[in-house]
Amino acid sequence: MFIDANEIITLIQAAKDCQERLPEAEQWLHFRDVEATLQKLIDDEKSRLDVMAEEFEAQQEDAATQVFNHEEEEYGRRQMEEDAIEKELEVDFNWPHGV
């Protein structure tokens, strides 16, 4: 998981700005705000990773389908060749009055 460092820097800068503006007696750590901001960063990253996973799975399915289609085409081609050979052999061995 990768969380954008710029977002964390923004959070740290906001805390520093509050510390500079407020007198020391009024400087409280707002845990809920920090927790909510960090949770949002994690949720955003999780969403981004979920999208990447879905795209990857779709690509894998496409690749598997292409391989399957190629194998199916190859099987069909071989089957047609074998059928043609069998037909030729039938003609050769079905002479009138036999040998």
Please state the pTM of the whole predicted model: 0.48
Q: Is residue 99 part of a domain?
A: no
Q: Is residue 74 part of a domain?
A: yes
Expressed as residue numbers, the domain containing 61 is 5-21+28-91
The residues, ordered by sequence, that sit 6+ positions from 4 with a Cβ below 8 Å of its Cβ are: 41, 45
Q: Is residue 70 part of a domain?
A: yes
What is the model's pLDDT at position 53? 93
| Residue whose structure tokens are 């002479």 | 95
Sign of the alpha-carbon torsion through 29, 31, 32, 36: positive
The residues, ordered by sequence, that sit 6+ positions from 8 with a Cβ below 8 Å of its Cβ are: 41
Per-residue pLDDT of the chain (99 residues; tens, 9 = 90+): 677 778 888 888 887 887 788 787 776 767 677 778 888 888 988 999 999 999 999 998 888 888 787 788 888 888 888 888 887 776 655 566 555
Q: Is residue 32 part of a domain?
A: yes
Q: Is residue 15 part of a domain?
A: yes
Q: Is residue 96 part of a domain?
A: no
| Residue whose structure tokens are 């923004």 | 10
- Domains in the chain, number: 1
